[in-house]
Structure 1
């Protein structure tokens, strides 16, 4: 059984001492920590409010620019926007290209008005013709091709923005660049605007975010649109916190402040190194940390002193008591030098008490052993009175007919039989002696049932000197003769003994079978369940006798099984005992 150390149960001395110390010190430390964290939170809040106001102001400017672009595109796509309508309604190539040239010149002239806009684009779905109007030298030919391919796919797949007109701007990563785009539709003609996110954030690069900080765009799902390297390296989460700001990051912590756009599903996010914010605190914060750290250092020292003076000796005493409760009666308390005199007296008293108890246990154990030996001797000396009277009757009848040879043989067998039976001081005998006794018994019974009894014995020579309790095999043979042998038919009794080599050790398997009528169903159930089946006439006393003796000698290491042979229908008994009973006998 595993002995646990002193528990933290309610009411234990350890818990009360530690709680007493903590009640005196924890409130003071708590006030210091609260003051420290409150100061940190105030500074963070002020910094966050400052950046929040800045981001909100600039986001309003971005939303205003995007709204102007939306207003222009809505005007172009409305009833007054004859340019898109004429492009959609053109039937001949001449009309179409004339309308396209006019629209290109108009968009190229008007794009300069919108500083944040990268380009306008027009897509005629009937002719699958794409036209873009970009600010000069801002986009490469390869980038324009990628943009054209992406936007064409969006239009043809029906993925153009729809719904709330104030949330139409969407984010897209095209090639290595990030864009915001919006599309309006007039018939089968689409007009859209494209804004580069780098161009949107360019005015914010001059802000003093701090070394390692940045300003970026993110979508509403917390995914960074720009400056993703800083976010990925520090495992920063861009989700919306419970308040106006929150901290995030793995190794380094960053203050996250954001402002959402009303024109699209994106927001401006400021990522500020938290360490630079805390550097703005006064030196009082360092003093508070020193006081707090000192308090946290002296509390363990005080608890350690209490532990060494009180809890360790008490724990030794409790562990010794638990070991005694688990069965280790030899355990004693060993108090080290320097232990308080009270604990030393308590330990000496415990050791003296355990010595007296151990002596008493030895005496009780020896008395139990003597009682067990007496019970074994009494069980071995039980003699079946019917067998004794029947044997005397056979001798009388043989003498009466003057069959002196059989009379002498019967008398000699009885002498050997009862000499073996009266071995009252023998717990184990060699297997060969038990088998010889069984042969004598069978010889006596063969005189009683002439030509009605046959037996076979199969045992290897190397097992003949194995120790076995006396009368084990003979008792089951006697039971077979008592319940199986009649004057009507021949009964065969077989005894087989062999060695079982198992992982847990070598054991001997003893099988005794007969060709009689076998066990009754009710009797077999009781035997297999280990219940006593002795009736008012004392039947099956021999079986109970053997079971009782084997349990006393071997304990749980013995196995007895009863069954009826499926071929002959006779009774079968299977006994498995250890090959070396010395350990079991000692136990």
Structure 2
């Protein structure tokens, strides 16, 4: 499973947390805002309809006052009572009234005995000498002196234009309350329509008027009056007094206190939904912007906070790479400073422990080198004494003296004042004394050559390294060879290595062995001893190479680093 960096994990977790909180806050904000807007829409609709109702009351009151002033006019009463009233005066009165009120379209007076005065010459009406027998006449009389307002209807005027009208009729009575006739005014509702259309009921909202019989007095869509389908579509609105219609519209009905009308307001919710959508998108946009700014700030702050940890990681990697001097910066927050202090303290303790371990290892190496060299000395001493005994048996005192001096010099170099490390120059001189002693024993069968490099005369290495190689070359190579043999000791440079090689032209090997086989074949303990001692001192920078050819030669080469390990190339 992939693991993200700490910074990314913290940012992701905080992002999800903020997103969750924004969703909760946004949901609550959206709900409360929507509820508040819905309540405001309801209240605005109620206020608008109630204001419209007040306007209708004034409108009706004006119509009533107009008809009342006409039925009480003495000229009209005299004409209706046949007391000498002039028809021309009545008609002139009607024309003056129409000129003063733009909503009035026509005025009509019908007397009880069937006489008719109308401002609209195209108007035709059924009259008789006894108007009391006419149903429409009786309907107006049933109002008991109050105006009768009929539903809207469409009329064709004298100019040939169609007009939607409202008719108000009122009985004309004498002073004793006897019927004299009927006054009717036809009124266009242009001003009423303009006012109702201006009510703030949203873009798709509208208002209409019903009378007490449930008939449409006014509707902005005139086809409602003649279309049964559209009239049926209005029934759901009529069933709601104050509430919502399928969450699509808000309906509020206002009954005029002093009139026969009910004003119904329908406020569509499209504007509400648009406003809710605007709130939602504005909140989403604002929330997203705030979220991005918050995340950017969080990323910046966390980067500053995590930077000391990243530096600490770099310090750890450097320590792992072997840098012992590097230390963590004690900067940042209190916790990070404490962490850096404890880390540096741990590094100091590790350094102290490592120094102690190194010192212990150096001591162990010294002890091991001393133990390994002690394994060699008895072996070489036995061989040397055996040679001296052999010479003494032949009473060759001069050679015994020379051998003894050489042996003394050999042991002086071997003992090396108790030091396990010896210079390369002294090590070669030590081998030279050894070969001199062996030359006295083997005579012409043994020849030797030594090639040195003065530049590495002071190079330090464990003592008694070359002597066992020369001894093996003598006993396993030259001794078994028929005829004279040669041992050559060579010191040379090869790249970054100092190569010490011991060559002999002895019997060699039948086949090229592996390194471990070579150690077992070429002298056993002595050769293994050399290999172990050099590995203890030089580690992986040292290696041994063995070359051989049957009945031809053998060469053992020691590859040592030119640069000696600090502290191990010096005498303790």
After TM superposition, the score normalised by the length of structure 2 is 0.48
Work out which of the two has the higher radius of gyration on C-alpha atoms and give 1 or 2: 2
After TM superposition, the score normalised by the length of structure 1 is 0.47
